[in-house]
C-alpha cells in the first residue's frame, strides 16, 4: 500500500545529553512522546519528515516524580496513569479529576503530561487545570547551535486562541512544577469530547480560597479546545474580595460579563459553547455559595 515510501529515521536518545546533541543536529525532527494525539490525526502516516523522529520514551530523566515541602515536580514523560497512581496523596483533587477525564484507562497509560500540554493547535483538559494551579514548565530551547533553559507559567504557553507559543527551532518541555498551596474550593467540568466534538466542547477549571466569609482569591480558565483559551484577570479581581455567599443577582451579572468578554475577544465561539460556558460558570458560583452556607 505504501510502496515507494521510505520509513523515517528513528532517533532513540537515552539521556537528555544525547537528546541535546540530536536536537541540535536534526532541527526539523518530529518529537514523539506517547503518540496518542499524533496517531489520532487523519493522515498521521505516511508523511514527509525531513529529519526523522526523536523518540523520547527512553529518557528516564523525563519520567521522574519528586516532591518537597513547597512543590511537586513531574517529568514530561510521566503518563496520566502513573501520575494518578502516584499523586493520590500529593496532588489536588481537581488535578486528579482532570487526569481521569483524559480518554479511557488504556489510553491514559500512553498519554504523557508533556505531550498533552504541547499539542500545537488544540488545548485539552490538563492545560486548563494546570493554568489555574499556577503550574510552571521547564522548557529547553535548541536554537543557533545552543541549548537554553527557562521556566514558564503554563498559562503563558498559549495565545488567546490556544495555540502553543514556543518560538525556537526546537523546544522540549522537560518537567512541570506545581505548588502545594491549593484553594479550598475547586471545580472541574468538561462537556463533550475535545477530540471528537471539538466545536461543541467546553472545558472549565476553577479554584478559590476563602478567608472566613470572604473570597480571598479566585482563579478560573475556560477552554474551547480549538478556538479559545481564556483567563480573565478582570473577572477574577471582581470575584476576589466578595463576601460569601455572593448574591444571586451578582452571580447572574458576572456570568453575563464572562459571555461579553468571550464574545469580544473570540469571534468564532458558537452560541452553544457560550451558553454552556456561562451556565458552568454560574453553577460553579452557586456551588461555592452552597458550600459556604453549609460550613
Residue ranges covered by each domain of the chain: 10-58, 60-179, 185-294
pLDDT tens-place string over residues 183-237: 899 999 999 998 889 899 999 999 999 998 999 999 999 999 999 999 999 999 9
185-294: which CATH topology?
Enolase-like; domain 1 (3.30.390)
Share of the chain above pLDDT 70, in %: 91
Out of 3.30.465.10, 3.40.640.10, 3.40.50.720, 3.30.413.10, select the CATH number for domain 60-179: 3.30.465.10
For the cut 90, the answer to whether the pLDDT of residue 76 exceeds it is yes
**Any idea which residue has 471539538 for its cell?**
198
The torsion angles phi and psi of 116, rounded to 5 degrees, stand at -65, -35
Mean pLDDT of 270-286: 97
- pLDDT of 91 reads 86
For the cut 60, the answer to whether the pLDDT of residue 3 exceeds it is no
pLDDT tens-place string over residues 39-73: 555 555 545 667 788 999 999 999 999 998 899 99
Query: How many other C-beta atoms are found inside a 10 Å radius of the C-beta of residue 4?
Result: 5
- pLDDT of 1 reads 43
Confidence of residue 2 (pLDDT cuts 50, 70, 90): very low
Confidence of residue 173 (pLDDT cuts 50, 70, 90): very high
- pLDDT of 229 reads 97
Write down the pTM of the prediction: 0.91
Distance separating alpha carbons of residues 149 and 174, to the nearest angstrom: 10
What are the Cα distances from residue 140, in Å, to 62, 76, 149, 197, 217? 13, 12, 4, 33, 32
Averaged confidence pLDDT in the chain: 90
CATH number attached to the domain at 10-58: 3.30.43
For the cut 90, the answer to whether the pLDDT of residue 102 exceeds it is no
Of 4-13, 20-29, 34-43, 244-253, where does mean pLDDT reach its minimum?
34-43
Amino acid at each position: 500500500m505504501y510502496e515507494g515510501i521510505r520509513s523515517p529515521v528513528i532517533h532513540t536518545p537515552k539521556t537528555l545529553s544525547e537528546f541535546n546533541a540530536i536536537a541540535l543536529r536534526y532541527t526539523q525532527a518530529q518529537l514523539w512522546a506517547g503518540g496518542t494525539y499524533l496517531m489520532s490525526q487523519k493522515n498521521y502516516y505516511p508523511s514527509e519528515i525531513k529529519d526523522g523522529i526523536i523518540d523520547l520514551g527512553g529518557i528516564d530523566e523525563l519520567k521522574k516524580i519528586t516532591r518537597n515541602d513547597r512543590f511537586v515536580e513531574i517529568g514530561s514523560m510521566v503518563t496520566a496513569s502513573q501520575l494518578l497512581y502516584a499523586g493520590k496523596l500529593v496532588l489536588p483533587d481537581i488535578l486528579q479529576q482532570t487526569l481521569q477525564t483524559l480518554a479511557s484507562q488504556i489510553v491514559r497509560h500512553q498519554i504523557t503530561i508533556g505531550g498533552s500540554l504541547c499539542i500545537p493547535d488544540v488545548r485539552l483538559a490538563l492545560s486548563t487545570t494546570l493554568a489555574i494551579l499556577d503550574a510552571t514548565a521547564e522548557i529547553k530551547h535548541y536554537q543557533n547551535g545552543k541549548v537554553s533553559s527557562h521556566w514558564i507559567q503554563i498559562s503563558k504557553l498559549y495565545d488567546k486562541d490556544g495555540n502553543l507559543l514556543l518560538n525556537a527551532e526546537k523546544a522540549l518541555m522537560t518537567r512541570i512544577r506545581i505548588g502545594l498551596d491549593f484553594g479550598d474550593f475547586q471545580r472541574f467540568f468538561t462537556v463533550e469530547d475535545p477530540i471528537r466534538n471539538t466545536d461543541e466542547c467546553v472545558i472549565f477549571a476553577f479554584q478559590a480560597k476563602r478567608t472566613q466569609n470572604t473570597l480571598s482569591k479566585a482563579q478560573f480558565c475556560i477552554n474551547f479546545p480549538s478556538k479559545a483559551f481564556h483567563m480573565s484577570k478582570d473577572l477574577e479581581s471582581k470575584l476576589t474580595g466578595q463576601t460569601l455567599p455572593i448574591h444571586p443577582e451578582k452571580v447572574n451579572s458576572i456570568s453575563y460579563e464572562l459571555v461579553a468578554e468571550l464574545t469580544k475577544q473570540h469571534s468564532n465561539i458558537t452560541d452553544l459553547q457560550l451558553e454552556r460556558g456561562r451556565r458552568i460558570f454560574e453553577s460553579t458560583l452557586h456551588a461555592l455559595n452552597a458550600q459556604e452556607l453549609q460550613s
